[in-house]
Structure 1
Amino acid sequence: MARVYKQRVRRYWLPVLIGVLFLLFVFAYMKPWPYMLYGAGSAEPVHPRVETGHKLEEKGALLFTTVSTYSNPNIFSIIYARINPRMEVKSQEAATGGATNLKAYRNLLAWMRDSSEANALLAAYAAMKKPIDVKEQGVIVYALLPDSKARENGLQEGDIITKADDKTITTAKVLSEYLSSKKPGEKVTVSGTRGEEKFTATVPLIAMAPSNRTGIGFQNETVLKVTPPDPVKFDFADTGGPSAGLMMTLEIVAQLTGEDLTRGYRVAGTGTIDASGTVGQIGGINYKLMAADREKADYFLVPYDKKNPSNWNQAETTVKDLKLKPKLVKVSTLQEAVDFLKKLEPKA
């Protein structure tokens, strides 16, 4: 009997080994890990994604750039990203800034995109000295502070608060004044929207340093609804974050003034925009440059801050190390970007 068993083992050991290895491969392929992978995204024309009711033929293109992200990768994707010099691996906690969960992080990114569209309208119409209607509609939970008790009581990043108890909340100031009338340890019931859903959370209040003011304990911004006099529509639902703000604004200005700011060139860029037209720095500029180079951009508009030129420094290093072709252009404001484009000699 023992002899027969040994013969069977010798005969079938290879198929058994192959079967075990196959199962291990399937397990490794299917198992997600709490990491996020980064790489070059896209560099697409803004023109088809912004409608203003004013037709404009562009001989070139204004390109908004993105970073490709991949959450919960398997081990093979992680290994590939580790050895690829044009990719990066971050823990999910680092990538999301410690957000409660991925859904909360994505809700926050969606609001950032919507906010960048609102600010693009405000900046564009301010630059053209045209009136625009603005309404305050609530308060976004941007980031929860370490001492806050909100997270364990149901509040998340990306939540938009429109009510505190029975009081309607339209601005961060209104919310702050209402909470300041209470004492630390008391509770407040806040409600509003969480992505496409409604939420309600009852959270204990804390004394916030250094002012000792009573509050929930989160960084916030007022949510704005901006309605322009022109029928402006955006189509950026497949993106997230605020970094297309500058390029959106340039496209709005071009369409509403009827001036082709491209001058026949492919001009890529990135950067947040605020209502005053100030261009803010962003993350992942190296990956956006890779995308712009792949799409044969002639120029790349880089957010520039004299006090902290991190975007500019990284852009210069990336272009040099990877031998990328787009010419870098410093921009600190919308007006600087417009002035640069207007001074370009039309491309033959």
Structure 2
Amino acid sequence: MLASTLMLFALLCAGVFLKVPYSEMSPGPTVNTLGESHGEPVLNISGHKTYPTTGHLNMTTVRVTGADYDMNLLEAVYGWLAGDNIVVPHENLYPDGKTDKQSTQENAEEFSQSQESAKVAALKQLGIEVPVRVVVSTVVKGSPSEGKLHAGDVIKSVDGTPVTEPGDVAKLVTKHKPGEPVEFTIVPAADAAEAEKAGREPSTTAKVTIVAGKAEDDGHAIVGIRAGVDHTFPFPIDIKLADVGGPSAGLMFALGIVDKLTPADLTGGKFIAGTGTIDDAGKVGPIGGIQMKTIGARNAGAQYFLTPAENCASAAAHVPDGLTLVKVSTIGDAEQALEKIGKGDTAGLPSCTTS
């Protein structure tokens, strides 16, 4: 008895102090994009007629242990045995040795971009035009553009040639030799933001001349900026949701916007959850942690789960009882599914299979 007790004690101590290279995933909270979070509407639309909504369009989340968290053997064993949790290699969640700070920053950036794409995809689905403009995305520290161009500046032209795509900027700059002046016509970021808030086109432009620098790799001309795209929304759409990161809520945000701007009640009062990234064109992309999200959705009361087509096989392998998986590839697929679910016409819904 004494020997067995000592052996058990030794094993428990080893389990506590022995660190293993694993992380844990578990179902996170779900939030109704048609409702409120912390007392504020998740979707706040002004300047355009909105319509009453019922039911739920819940985005889903996954809880994960932090990048700097050292899991011990005992926790790993418990996680493997726990029904709703998954233990995975640490590097699967945090590749390239990312720290908590780096991971949080990346998730915040992806979350912000997903909101932007959700708004664009939703308005396009409704046939509402969303003008695109080329902007300064980032300015390289110590580059010729530092202090002259700023993130958010709208690039109208380079050397008098109109710019319509981000790639146009690099093409026009590289026509120069290092040391030559490059003239940018811009709308300063502050003026562009003020005009968008007021719902008008900016009227102020400025000319900025930058002496091109020299690239270290092949010596071509550079000015030290990265161009990107920004959208001019015809009316304000504000998405507020704290303590959430990553791009996987894009689809549900987009559907929430469509529902609020559509006279018909898309959900018909049903409880629908889902996940999926979305791009500006409305294409739905895969996400991680699908099993955790379906469990979280069902625990919250969801009856239907909108599932990215590329996640279907994995989701279908472990479907919680009472939850119907609906396969979607685009926002159009998802809207059609909502209409059928809302009307109770669910016989023809595209389903997920394990193959």
The residue correspondences of 1:163-202 to structure 2 (distance < 5 A) are 165-167=143-145, 168=149, 173=167
- Residue 274 of structure 1 corresponds to which residue in structure 2? 279
- Residue 65 of structure 2 corresponds to which residue in structure 1? 70
- Residue 196 of structure 2 corresponds to which residue in structure 1? none
Selected match of 2:336 from 327, 335, 339: 339
Rounded to whole Å, the distance in 2 between the matches of 1:131 and 1:101 is 40
> How far does residue 338 in structure 1 lie from its aligned partner after superposition?
0.8
User: Which is further off, 238-247 or 54-63?
Assistant: 54-63
- Residue 117 of structure 1 corresponds to which residue in structure 2? 115
TM norm structure 1: 0.65
C-alpha change, 1:164 and 1:289, in structure 2 (3 Å) is: farther
Rounded to whole Å, the distance in 2 between the matches of 1:263 and 1:179 is 55
> How far does residue 138 in structure 1 lie from its aligned partner after superposition?
4.5
TM norm structure 2: 0.64
For residue 273 of structure 1, what is the amino acid of its counterpart?
I
Deviations along 1:278-306, one digit per CA (max 9) or x if unpaired, are 111111111100011111211111111xx
CA contact (8 A) 1:115 1:224 kept: no
Query: Does structure 1 residue 79 correspond to structure 2 residue 77?
Result: yes
Rounded to whole Å, the distance in 1 between the matches of 2:317 and 2:262 is 36
- Residue 317 of structure 2 corresponds to which residue in structure 1? 317
For residue 40 of structure 1, what is the amino acid of its counterpart?
P
For residue 316 of structure 2, what is the amino acid of its counterpart?
E
- Residue 38 of structure 1 corresponds to which residue in structure 2? 25
Rounded to whole Å, the distance in 2 between the matches of 1:325 and 1:334 is 24
- Residue 299 of structure 1 corresponds to which residue in structure 2? 304
Query: Does structure 1 residue 52 correspond to structure 2 residue 57?
Result: no
C-alpha change, 1:39 and 1:222, in structure 2 (3 Å) is: farther
- Residue 150 of structure 1 corresponds to which residue in structure 2? none
Please give the root-mean-square deviation of Cα atoms over the aligned residues, in Å. Answer: 3.7
Taking every aligned residue pair, what percent have the same amino acid on both sides?
A: 28
CA contact (8 A) 1:121 1:226 kept: no
Rounded to whole Å, the distance in 1 between the matches of 2:57 and 2:176 is 49
Instruction: Could you tell me which runs of 5 or more consecutive residues in structure 1 were left unpaired when the two chains were aligned.
Output: 1-16, 140-159, 184-203, 208-212, 216-220
Rounded to whole Å, the distance in 1 between the matches of 2:332 and 2:50 is 23
Rounded to whole Å, the distance in 2 between the matches of 1:345 and 1:280 is 24
**3-state secondary structure, aligned to 1:344:** helix
Rounded to whole Å, the distance in 1 between the matches of 2:27 and 2:78 is 14
For residue 50 of structure 1, what is the amino acid of its counterpart?
L
- Residue 254 of structure 1 corresponds to which residue in structure 2? 259
> How far does residue 43 in structure 1 lie from its aligned partner after superposition?
2.2
The residue correspondences of 1:85-164 to structure 2 (distance < 5 A) are 85-98=83-96, 100-139=98-137, 161=139
For residue 312 of structure 2, what is the amino acid of its counterpart?
W
Selected match of 2:246 from 238, 241, 245: 241
- Residue 290 of structure 1 corresponds to which residue in structure 2? 295
> How far does residue 55 in structure 1 lie from its aligned partner after superposition?
4.8
Rounded to whole Å, the distance in 1 between the matches of 2:133 and 2:338 is 32
Rounded to whole Å, the distance in 1 between the matches of 2:81 and 2:169 is 48
**3-state secondary structure, aligned to 1:67:** strand
> How far does residue 69 in structure 1 lie from its aligned partner after superposition?
1.1
> How far does residue 133 in structure 1 lie from its aligned partner after superposition?
4.3
CA contact (8 A) 1:99 1:105 kept: no
The count of aligned residue pairs is: 268
> How far does residue 137 in structure 1 lie from its aligned partner after superposition?
4.0
> How far does residue 342 in structure 1 lie from its aligned partner after superposition?
1.6
> How far does residue 102 in structure 1 lie from its aligned partner after superposition?
2.6
Instruction: Could you tell me which runs of 5 or more consecutive residues in structure 2 were left unpaired when the two chains were aligned.
Output: 1-5, 37-41, 156-164, 179-214, 345-355
**3-state secondary structure, aligned to 1:238:** coil
